[in-house]
Amino acid sequence: MQSGTNAVQASELEAQRRAGHRRLRFTPTLEELYRDQRQNTLSERARPVAISAVVLFLIYAALDPFLLPAELARQTIMVRLLLTCPVILLVWALSYAPVSPGRFARWYAGAYVWGGLSVVLIIALARRQSFPLPYDGILLMLMFGYFVMGLPFRTASVGSALIIGSYIGVEAAFDTPAPDILMNAFFLLTANLIGMVGSWLSEYRQRAHFLDRHLLELSREKAEADSAAKTHLISVASHDLRQPLNVVNLLLDNLSAADLPPDQRPLVRQLSQSVTHFNGLLGSLLDISRIQENMIRPVITAVPVTTVLQQARDALQTEALEQGVSLAVEHANPTLAVQADPHLLHRVLQNLIGNALQHSNAETITLGVDAGDRQHRLWVRDDGRGMPESEQGRIFETFYRRESSAQAQPGLGLGLAITRELTGMMSGEHGVVSREGLGSTFWITLPAAPTVAAQPAVPVSNELPAGERILLVEDDTTAREALQQILERWGFTVLSVANGTLARRLARQQAFGLAIIDLHLPDIAGDILYRELREANVVGGGVLVTADTGRKQAYDPAQRLWLMHKPIVPARLRAALIRIQNTEPV
């Protein structure tokens, strides 16, 4: 259907549907396509039709000796077995042979006429011996042609007319009384008329279905093309907008650390906050777009609850401290686990914490879990200003923003809507409990997973591995230089290059404790380069950075490797490097 559909336009199909097809004809292009597709289905239909026809003729051949005079029975059996059945079996065999659809359709129609004429021949043999054989066999052939065989209306009508005309000619040749000929002709023509009407209605419906099916196919193709274009636009927008934001973010971090005059520091701080806010808006817009375009596919697994709560806290700890908010995780059973996509669950918790940081005016935000039999409830509780009951039913709606929010830079009202969608993708539920002046508790429930083994406590260092040698591979010169300044300010020894070829050359000369690599390098994919360096034992761990948010942010402890999205937030990069340091080498 695909190639055929592409041969016509939706406008031509729509025009044909409006014009109708009472004459059972389309425009030349559509007619050719319709005939090709109908003929392609005839071979499959012909197989059961041929078998049933042969069986009927064999049954009649078996009954002939009991119903007809001996000589006449011998002749009719020969006609059925030597003339009719071989042609029908030939059509059955051709249905499996590599015959063109058009040629097979002609053989199929010819077999129908041949079968009808063989019945006429049997009637002629009976008239020759003055035996009153009825014309019931012709009626059966007419019904076969019109309904069982599925012949096109014109083919069935012409073939049936030829069979009926031959029968009337035989009756006239053997001097059958005119009243009998007229009576028989009346019944046959009446049956033929009924068959023609049924055949016409059947083909009309088939042609209407043909138009609808192809219009639906074209609509599906257009929808898929539009969806692919939107997906491409979202990916390109994500990459092309995040790349310059990454450069601005890094430059601002360096500028913030510089010894600026007192009157310029607030301007830099305000600019940094604006860039961070813009990045949050951009991320929310791209996330809701990916959800609406079905670009997100959850990968459900058992996720340890304590681990994911601690990771969510760590990700926003720096932002909380900057706002003077205490962010903590309530002690919970370390063996609890939920069925969820770990990356989507992390994003849900980040959204809930971020919402509390932005809107609650809280001093303390606590993360925790209430264990259940079939579901566990994860919650984010704040001691902020709460909200009226009238808002609680709308807070998860897309683009809903609280009118009383005192934010200098209000959001788009997408964070909680994204939480709702992502939670639903993981077969979870969401909600909020709040009272004005007494804070809010946002919660999600997820299916419980079998308990996991508690991880033994290991010493954790919160200090950067100062003095470590880092290999920085980034093709954007400004971003590379800005990130190098940040890393050197943190106490690292940094060797930076612009592509994978130069990175390999350096790796042959010396080893590195860490590597920070752009995922999309001009000469090699960053993940492939990291795997090469890791297998050669020249790097101990690393961070892949990318503006492609289609790749999920995650940490692979086995490879001691982070994947982080641009723009790089220095505080999160710092936390990632500390996490790598605290991961035992594999």
| Tens-place pLDDT, residues 48-68 | 999 999 999 999 999 999 999
Give yes or no for residue 23 having a pLDDT over 80: yes
Cis peptide before 101 (omega within 30 of 0): no
SS3 of 433-472: the string is EECCCCCEEEEEEEEEECCCCCCCCCCCCCCCCCCCEEEE
Show the domains of the chain with their CATH numbers. Answer: 2-223 (no CATH), 301-449 (3.30.565.10), 469-581 (3.40.50.2300)
Categorize the per-residue pLDDT at 421 as very low, low, confident or very high, splitting at 50, 70 and 90.
Answer: confident
Question: Percent of the chain scored above 70 by pLDDT?
Answer: 86
pTM of the model: 0.53
Question: Which pLDDT value is given to residue 2?
Answer: 44
Question: Which pLDDT value is given to residue 443?
Answer: 93
Per DSSP bridges, beta strands 364-370 and 375-382 are antiparallel
Question: Which pLDDT value is given to residue 408?
Answer: 45
| Tens-place pLDDT, residues 185-214 | 999 999 889 989 998 998 899 999 999 988
SS3 of 506-529: the string is HHCCCCECEEEEECECCCCEHHHH
The arithmetic mean of pLDDT across residues 120-138, rounded, is 90
Nearest C-alpha neighbor of 519 from the set 126, 238, 282, 270: 238
Nearest C-alpha neighbor of 276 from the set 307, 306, 253: 253
The arithmetic mean of pLDDT across residues 317-340, rounded, is 87
Question: Percent of the chain scored above 90 by pLDDT?
Answer: 39
The arithmetic mean of pLDDT across residues 256-276, rounded, is 73
Categorize the per-residue pLDDT at 278 as very low, low, confident or very high, splitting at 50, 70 and 90.
Answer: low
Give yes or no for residue 514 having a pLDDT over 60: yes
The arithmetic mean of pLDDT across residues 440-450, rounded, is 92
Question: Which pLDDT value is given to residue 162?
Answer: 94
